[in-house]
Amino acid sequence: MRRRHDMPFGAQLAESGEARFNLWAPGTGSVQLLLGGEEHPMQPAPDGLFTLTAPARPGDRYSFRIGSQEVPDPASRYQPEDVHGPSQLVDPEAFEWRDGDWRGRPWEETVLYELHVGTFTPEGTFAGVRERLDYLAGLGVTAIELMPLSDFPGGRNWGYDGVLPFAPESRYGTPEELKELVQAAHERGLMVFLDVVYNHFGPEGNYLHLYAPQFFTDRHRTPWGAAINFDGELSGWVRGFFIHNALYWLEEYHLDGLRLDAVHAIADGSEKHFLIELAERVRRRFDSERHVHLVLENDANEARYLGRGRYDAQWNDDLHHALHVTVTGESGGYYADYADDAIGHLGRCLAEGFAYQGEPSAYRGGVSRGEPSAGLPPVCFVSFLQNHDQVGNRAFGERITELGAPEAVRAAAAIYLLAPQIPMIFMGEEWSTEQPFPFFCDFGPELARAVTEGRREEFARFPEFSDPEMREKIPDPNDPETFRSAVLEPERNGRPELYRELLRLRREEIAPRLRGISGGAAEYRRIGERGLRVRWALGDGSTLTLLANLGPEPARGFGRPEGEPLYSTVRGMEDAMPPWSVAWYLEGVG
């Protein structure tokens, strides 16, 4: 089986031994195609499109000349010489797929494992990840989620500074090697998700401003500067660029899902928001063929985008923050919004989705945040104890195992891995790795200095970094050693038995009962100061109950739920629950 996604821009090979080259460049009057050592003038077409068909073969390298500047194809499928070099023609149909019977997996079976290709293995490649798939399948995860792969400048980056969103990062391997990884994952029953970034481009290697300034708008602002133009003049081309990108990854690479980064930074005043249009296009293309899943990161907690026919789920930062404050006692920065009642916020997240459903956020200056979410089923929310942001945005990239007591971290894991929400593990978490995951990048000298200084200044507002000498200890993102510190070392692996056992229970006892689970069918109750009792009606009519004492002292008053014990962090619990203990019960098992 062979796969190719056709699109109105970029380079597309034909059977005639030619290739069609299209570049949307409304900001310039002429474009030259550089191919085979020769320049070919491209023909103008409506709306600022330039086009040319010329003899070409797979592997040929090409670029465009705008005035005196050579630029890569913004829809390049491969950049072997990094973001400033020429693009390479790829024949997507040269790869022979062997997973024609793969139909994906239902959403309720999903257990995500977020990983960074460059640091997950010592090799830092697609092939290195492929070698670890048997381990991941044995752990009990059902999906790997790759941090962004869009080609980025240099050899080290989280991926959110990508500038060529159709080209998988060449440092990690070729397009064919990424396809081999996806195929190998499917052979083991694992889905593959990709984190995509549609809210900005990175600061180095983005040439769109030169020939397509209409790609951006000053009418909206983002943390990265001018916003991408989703709702102004010629925005149809911009929207199409990203919609085709989503379809491209799902079709040409046979991926099973996408996670859209920080969609609260996608400003769109159109009658039909870009997010709705993208979801409709994806559903129309794939829903009749196989399971394809869409997940959001959205700090605005906009419940309107979630549910059948739209987005399967959203990363639930509220639940993470409540768990983190509970485990660590931290209250700085955005954790301040949860420190007043971390247990209550956690209970609301487990029973209703968001902690903030329209309430004012003190951290955000009293602005109301979120929309009502209690009517959504719990599978519309992705839960986690760690992820790349919550670890890497700390000054030193410390893991939660460095911040909380082992028994507290264990209790938090026992909650989020068995709750009806969709769990996500961050690489290395399952063996309690102590290796950090700091922010790292590899920019040119001038930009590198600005990034290093800017990151240290960012932490100056925190009391612990008010001393300039302390700020100097924050790792330099551009130092190769900062990157190397994040590379997981197999010989330092702990023993992931706890996670393996919890995921076995989830697979056998929880996931089969999640199909058809509805919203509004859960309730929570505080027990004393640090206790919590949560009850869910599952999709098959059974009832799941959580009892948790999330404090350092024994607690009473929980009562014993109906049903059979499913899991407990302690043995022989009486009326009093020991410190940092968790117990699960399942009632109505057929």
pLDDT given for residue 206 in this prediction? 96
CA distance 299 to 434: 28
> Could you report the per-residue pLDDT of 530-570, keeping only the tens digit for each?
999 999 999 999 999 999 999 999 999 998 898 999 999 98
In 3D, which of 185, 196, 179, 215 has the Cα closest to residue 74? 215
In a domain, 258, yes or no: no
pLDDT given for residue 252 in this prediction? 98
In a domain, 336, yes or no: no
CA 112 and chain centroid, separation: 10
CA distance 418 to 503: 8
Please say which residue of 43, 76, 94 terminates a domain: 94
Query: In this structure, which amino acid lies at residue 311?
Result: Y
- The 10 Å CB-count burial string (b at 16+, else e) for 21-37 is bbbbbbebeebbbbbee
Query: In this structure, which amino acid lies at residue 480?
Result: P
In a domain, 37, yes or no: yes
Please say which residue of 60, 94, 128 terminates a domain: 94
Q: Which of 261, 299, 429, 442 is catalytic?
A: 261
Active site residue 297: yes
59 confidence band (pLDDT: 50, 70, 90) = very high
CA distance 244 to 396: 37
Please say which residue of 70, 94, 118 terminates a domain: 94
Q: Which of 161, 297, 299, 352 is catalytic?
A: 297
Q: Residue positions in the annotated binding site?
A: 259-264, 317-321, 388-393
Torsion of CA 476, 481, 487, 491, to 10 degrees: -140
pLDDT given for residue 312 in this prediction? 98
Active site residue 501: no
Q: Judge whether residue 491 has pLDDT over 80.
A: no
CA distance 43 to 292: 38
Q: Judge whether residue 488 has pLDDT over 80.
A: yes
Q: Judge whether residue 583 has pLDDT over 70.
A: yes
CA distances from 276 to 270, 343, 414 (A): 11, 34, 35
Tell me what the mean pLDDT of segment 342-365 comes to.
Answer: 97
CA distance 261 to 521: 30
In a domain, 301, yes or no: no
318 confidence band (pLDDT: 50, 70, 90) = very high
In a domain, 385, yes or no: no
> Could you report the per-residue pLDDT of 373-431, keeping only the tens digit for each?
999 999 999 999 999 999 999 999 999 999 999 999 999 999 999 999 999 999 999 99
Q: Residue positions in the annotated binding site for substrate?
A: 259-264, 317-321, 388-393
Alpha helices in 335-403 (DSSP H): 336-339, 342-352, 388-392
Number of folded domains that form the chain: 2
Query: In this structure, which amino acid lies at residue 558?
Result: F
pLDDT given for residue 298 in this prediction? 98
In a domain, 534, yes or no: yes
- Which domain, by its residues, includes 85? 10-94
**Whole-model pTM above 0.85?**
yes
Residue 507 makes CB contacts below 8 A (sequence gap 6+) with: 109, 140
pLDDT given for residue 224 in this prediction? 83
Range of lowest pLDDT (240-244, 449-453, 500-504): 449-453
Tell me what the mean pLDDT of segment 263-274 comes to.
Answer: 96
